[in-house]
Amino acid sequence: MQHDAVRPAIRFAPWVAVCALLVCGAAAAQRREPADFPSRTVRIIVSAPPGGGVDIVARLIADRLQQTWGHPVVVENRPGAGGNLGAEAVAQAAPDGYTLLAAQPAPLTTNVALYRKLNFDPSAFEPIAIMTTIPNALVVRTDLPVNSVQELIAYAKANPGKVNFGSQGIGTTPHLTAELFARQTGTQLTHVPYRGTAATVNDVVAGHLDLLFMQIDAVREHYQANKLKMLAVTTAERVPAVAEVPTLIETGVPGFRSDTWNALAAPPKTPPALVTKLNQAVNDVLQRRDVAAHLQALNMQPIGGTPAAMRQFLKDETDRWGEVIRAANITAN
């Protein structure tokens, strides 16, 4: 009887050993993965249309990573739903480093407050690095009867709800920046959403829109050609490319700051060692002189940093802009 009692355990012992070997083998493979990575094509999914800031940076980084790794790094644009389509695709991808997300702020921070339901959890992405920041500027049509921020505030207060502003869509950085401006200055502005940057800027130049908060690379040439007026930049310090333009803080709007930025992230549950390797590779690219010069010519500042710093930054941005969204009762559904 004693032998019969132990026989089942003996019979299952080989299967236990096999399972243990499989688990150990998987763990060993995961430990080897960073050293072997990459061994095939890496995809960077951009959650915005081609030609914008995040797309430009993603393609630049992809090119340099391909040179470093000796394997293809391809960029695939998957815009739509405020960046949610691209983010969702990466959220559902295998956490093996071969599918990455290059995103504007919305899908990583503000969309969680804008949309009633998302098919992914923005906070679950594994941060790799903030790639660049781009300063924003406040511009107005040339025939708007204001020449300073304080004159704009006075004009808007004298014409409540009659001053309009454009953006690339509900919940985008230009939209939320204007809402923050209205909140801090006690003005009422009317939002006119568009579907892209070019159309929005063109309508300010044509005089169909009163004002716009937009990344400086999209409006600087028009400003220098006197096709619109630039009243301020929204950074903590003046922007060298337009050093004559004051910051909003200088003009009397305390603490006002709004940058456009873009980031690189990996699918949820990507192993920490692999995240570290990706982070180091991206930082190496951003620190190259030729890359920094290329970005600075586009008024972009390379950032980089640690995954932990990016995670904290995303949390802070989510909290800050979430408050603006709730105060203005903005929804994207």
b/e map 233-246, b = 16+ CB within 10 Å: bbbeebbebbeebb
Asked if 256 and 324 touch (Cβ cutoff 8 Å), the reply is no
Say yes or no to pLDDT of 12 above 60. no
Identify the sign of the CA torsion 151, 141, 261, 221: negative
Q: What is d(CA 4, CA 138) in angstroms, rounded to the nearest whole number?
A: 84
Identify the sign of the CA torsion 263, 266, 270, 274: negative
- Sort strands 42-46 and 99-103 into parallel, antiparallel or unpaired: parallel
Q: Which overall architecture, per CATH, does domain 39-134+259-328 show?
A: 3-Layer(aba) Sandwich (3.40)
Say yes or no to pLDDT of 196 above 90. no
Decide yes or no: CATH 3.40.50.300 for domain 135-242.
Answer: no
Q: What is d(CA 47, CA 115) in angstroms, rounded to the nearest whole number?
A: 16
Phi, psi values for residue 135, rounded to 5°: -65, 145
Supply the pLDDT for residue 170. Answer: 87
Ordered alpha helix ranges (H), the chain: 2-36, 53-69, 84-91, 105-108, 111-114, 149-158, 173-185, 197-205, 220-224, 272-286, 289-297, 307-328
Q: At what angle do helices 272-286 and 289-297 cross, to 10 degrees?
A: 70
Say yes or no to pLDDT of 289 above 60. yes
* CA 159 to chain CA mean position, Å: 34
Average pLDDT, the chain: 89
Asked if 197 and 51 touch (Cβ cutoff 8 Å), the reply is no
| Confidence label for 267 from pLDDT (cuts 50, 70 and 90) | very high
Say yes or no to pLDDT of 263 above 90. yes
How much of the chain, in percent, has pLDDT values that exceed 70? Answer: 90
Among candidate residues 241, 240, 44, 36, the one with its CA nearest the CA of residue 131: 44
What are the pLDDT digits (tens) for 124-145?
A: 999 999 999 999 999 999 999 9
Domain range list for the chain: 39-134+259-328, 135-242
Q: What is the 3-state secondary structure (H, E, C) of 104-133?
A: CHHHHCCHHHHCCCCCCCHHHCEEEEEEEE
What are the pLDDT digits (tens) for 153-193?
A: 999 999 999 999 999 888 888 999 999 999 999 999 999 99
Residues whose CB falls within 8 Å of the CB of residue 127, separated by 6 or more in sequence, listed in order: 263, 265, 275, 307, 308, 310, 311, 314
| Confidence label for 33 from pLDDT (cuts 50, 70 and 90) | low
Asked if 69 and 60 touch (Cβ cutoff 8 Å), the reply is no
Supply the pLDDT for residue 21. Answer: 45
- In CATH terms, are 39-134+259-328 and 135-242 the same topology? yes
What are the pLDDT digits (tens) for 94-109?
A: 999 999 999 999 999 9
